């Protein structure tokens, strides 16, 4: 969602290049290393923030979800993102040779 709001053509071109490299890594015969995800981190972070802001605004306008404010929805989305990324990082960091 955040990618659609960016007006700068140079930035969109840079993100398209990162996307094409990501597709290439995903199609590689062996599983991509988790460290390659850090290459896309600088491009993904601002887009994720913009998308979360839009999503929280859209959710706060819905009839059933309007009980929570936009700020509350944004906090819940951020909390879910932090929990998910920490769970994935925990699973990757504490891998054992037997698992």
Q: What is the pLDDT of residues 37-56, one digit of tens each?
A: 666 677 777 778 888 888 88
CA gap 77, 87 in Å, rounded: 15
Q: Give the confidence band of 96 by pLDDT, cuts at 50, 70, 90.
A: low
At residue 49, the pLDDT reads 83
**Mean predicted confidence (pLDDT) in 70-74:** 91
At residue 79, the pLDDT reads 93
At residue 26, the pLDDT reads 72
Six token digits for residue 13: 């071109």
Asked if residue 36 has pLDDT above 70, the reply is no
How many other CB atoms are found less than 10 A from the CB of residue 54?
A: 14
Write out the residue range of the structural domain in which residue 13 sits: 2-93
Query: What is the rounded radius of gyration, in angstroms, for the C-alpha atoms of the chain?
Result: 17
Computed over every residue of the chain, the mean pLDDT equals: 77
Q: Does 6 map to a domain?
A: yes
At residue 2, the pLDDT reads 62
CB 73 within 8 A of CB 65: yes
Q: Does 41 map to a domain?
A: yes
Q: Does 75 map to a domain?
A: yes
For the chain, how many structural domains are there in total? 1
Q: Does 98 map to a domain?
A: no
Higher-confidence residue: 4 or 14?
A: 14
């Amino acid at each position: 969602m955040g990618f659609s709001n960016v007006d700068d053509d140079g930035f969109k071109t840079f993100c398209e290049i990162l996307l094409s490299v990501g597709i290439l890594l995903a199609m590689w015969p062996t599983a991509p290393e988790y460290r390659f995800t850090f290459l896309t981190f600088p491009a993904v972070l601002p887009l994720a923030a913009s998308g979360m802001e839009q999503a929280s605004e859209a959710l706060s306008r819905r009839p059933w979800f309007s009980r929570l404010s936009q700020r509350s929805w944004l906090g819940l989305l951020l909390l879910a993102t932090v929990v998910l990324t920490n769970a994935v990082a925990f699973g990757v960091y504490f891998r054992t040779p037997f698992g």
